[in-house]
Amino acid sequence: MSSSNAAGHWPERVGIRGMEIVFPSQFVEQTELEAFDGVSAGKYTVGLGQQRMGFCSDREDINSLCLTAVRNLLDRQAVPLHQIGRLEVGTETIVDKSKSVKSVLMQLFEPAGVTDLEGIDTTNACYGGTAALLNAINWIESSSWDGRLALVVCGDIAVYAQGTARPTGGAGAVAMLIGPNAPLCFDRGLRASYMKHAYDFYKPDLSSEYPVVDGKLSIQCYLSALDACYQLYGKKFAQRHPDVVAPVTLDTFGAFIFHSPYGKLVQKSLARVGLNDFVLTPPEQRAKLFPGQAEQFANVRLEDTYFDRDVEKAFMTQYAAVFEAKTKRSLHLASQIGNMYTPSVYSCLVSLLIGSDVDELLGKRVGVFSYGSGLASSMYSISITTDREQLAEFKQHLNYVQPLLERRTKVAPAEFTEMMAVREKNNHAAPYEPTGSVEVLFPGTYYLKSVDSMHRRTYERISMMITRCARVPGHWTAYLC
């Protein structure tokens, strides 16, 4: 790999060269949680659009999740450690106010003598992973780049106090290998950001894992950020491509993915982009492009529609087919695992990739909206390669995802609640010996072995060579992860 570029030339096609996702080996059914919580049937499954929720026992923390994701990515992609020049973490799950998760990950590199690794942790709610990713892109496109690859990992454990917010939890980590000549290329110069001060979701109590949430304000902040980013992206696209006469609309994208606190909000967000298209369309052209809505919503203003059910319903109906075609498949993992916080939008990218055939993806432009409360947000786009062989190889490395999802262990709501109580009681406890089962963890998983009296955490890893057996009537079936 060249350590320098010809003067005035950018590295070509900088983007994602490999991805790895990890998620908890245990889950709770949202239908069973509805019954356990005594809420109406469908409140979590239909109302939120969630099917299952992954969760971690006290055996896993943010360090173990990121250790697993990074180690698995390096092993699966067969990347020599000396070829990594930047490693950055995006997370809002804090176990130490000073020591970074990145510094813990250095355990993976030090045996090979690799210590020259830029990057530390980046934090702002669910946006930290995107900030880390953009930092990696910037590094490769800067004079600081030495020709090596960057590695970004975003991970979180999203837990809430018992009550109506708990079903919107989840956990997981996504690691990404960043470099030139990537099959998923970031469109240069097409980033739009919206940053603002808000108390919509925050974690002021450092002794607790639980956030403080203003639900209504959070939705308003999310949608207003989406409006601002989408419109600014359109302006930057026009500046970048003066030869393209047509304005940016949903038709510009072959797929559109969003940060997913819960599936229903994503469906509303896709319709919201359609509403933006309507508002930005000259009035004289609306009747042709938006039959049935041109007169009804002629004077609509975006800032008045965050909670307007008539507008929401009309545009969700109008864009139902577009949602099915461009966004729905990206919610597969989110519906099965829940909100991962920083990895959320990247789990949607993984879902889009594993849920689509190679020929469906070739040459597509994917719109990406990332949001973090407080607030920070960005929209950018990814151009997928037209090289069929390169994309097929990229997708092949993700073939483990669906089988692993199906191997998870279901836990009853009562037991799940007890395990959450253990986490709550022992959060930041020291010394501490975790009690969660190690046997249920996937092969290759790092787990918390102990915390000593000085709060120093020790981790071990489940062997990758564990063979698990499942009893099937008449015979035994064994598989190797």
* Positions marked catalytic: 92, 126, 259
Distance separating alpha carbons of residues 251 and 409, to the nearest angstrom: 41
Whether the Cβ atoms of residue 178 and residue 62 lie closer than 8 Å to each other: no
Tokens of 167: 């079903």
Sign, Cα dihedral of 154, 157, 159, 164: positive
Closest-CA residue to 342 (of 16, 27, 21): 21
Whether the Cβ atoms of residue 69 and residue 18 lie closer than 8 Å to each other: no
Tokens of 231: 């419109």
Closest-CA residue to 87 (of 104, 99, 75, 72): 104
Q: Which helix (H) or strand (E) holds 431?
A: none
> Kind of pairing, strands 170-179 and 15-22?
antiparallel
Dihedral angle, C-alpha 267, 268, 273, 279, nearest 10 °: 150
Q: Which helix (H) or strand (E) holds 51?
A: none
In a 3-state reduction of DSSP, which class is residue 192?
strand
Tokens of 82: 């000396």
